[in-house]
Amino acid sequence: MLYEGDFHTPAGRFAIVAARFNAFIVDPLLAGAQDAFARHGVTVERVDVIRVPGSFEVPLIAQKLADSQKYAAVICLGCIIRGETDHYDHVAGAATNGVLNAGLKTGIPVIYGVLTCETLEQAIHRAGAKAGNKGFEAAVTAIEMVNLLTKLGT
Ligand code: INI
């Protein structure tokens, strides 16, 4: 027996946690995620958006939202671009581990839509240009995971 999530309109509410840092990249990711929900029949009233200062702050809020049992899934959006120091590595590592742990601790899909890029150009490409829109992809992943968990009955 193969179990796989599909893309039909899921039940429940969704939360999007989006960093304000690098907003000129994160805002198009957020618009992409909202577009994906709308196109899959998840109406705007069922999607809450929570803004936080930076990607480092995303996991705490994502975990609290997932823990609240109010949401079928939580989508995390941010953009971390490498600078001249090792700050990038710390913020990227913390955000990545934090998002993963929020999902594992709560049992709710917590989706990783945080860009970690070497250059601004790479980020632009992933926020709606050459490499698609990772926010759109994150919302579609959330829908697939919610539908998979429903099928599995877990
Ligand atoms: N936050 C980001 O989301 N992206 C970055 O590229 C970034 N850089 O480069 O510093 C960044 N820093 C802020 C960080 O997320 C926290 O908001 C801050 O350290 C306060 O905790």
pLDDT of residue 130: 83
Identify whether 38 is part of a domain.
yes
Identify whether 142 is part of a domain.
yes
Identify whether 6 is part of a domain.
no
Residue with tokens 């179990």: 3
21 within ligand 1 shell (Cβ under 6 A): yes
pLDDT digits (tens, 9 = 90+) for 119-154: 999 999 999 988 899 999 999 999 999 999 999 997
**What is the average per-residue pLDDT within 31-44?**
98
DSSP codes joined into one string, 64-86: HHHHTT-EEEEEEEEEEE--SST
Identify whether 39 is part of a domain.
yes
Residue with tokens 């994150």: 138
Identify whether 63 is part of a domain.
yes
Instruction: For the chain, count helices (H), then strands (E).
Output: 5, 4
Identify whether 1 is part of a domain.
no
**What is the average per-residue pLDDT within 33-59?**
98
Determine the structural domain holding residue 83 and report its residue range.
14-149
Identify whether 20 is part of a domain.
yes
Q: How far is the CA of 22 from the centre of ligand 1 (A)?
A: 9
19 within ligand 1 shell (Cβ under 6 A): yes
CATH number at residue 49: 3.40.50.960
Q: How far is the CA of 8 from the centre of ligand 1 (A)?
A: 35
CA distances from 53 to 11, 23, 44, 65 (A): 30, 10, 23, 16
Concerning whether 87 is annotated as a catalytic residue, the answer is yes
- The pLDDT of residue 35 is above 90: yes
Identify whether 120 is part of a domain.
yes
Name the domain count of the chain.
1
86 within ligand 1 shell (Cβ under 6 A): no
92 within ligand 1 shell (Cβ under 6 A): no
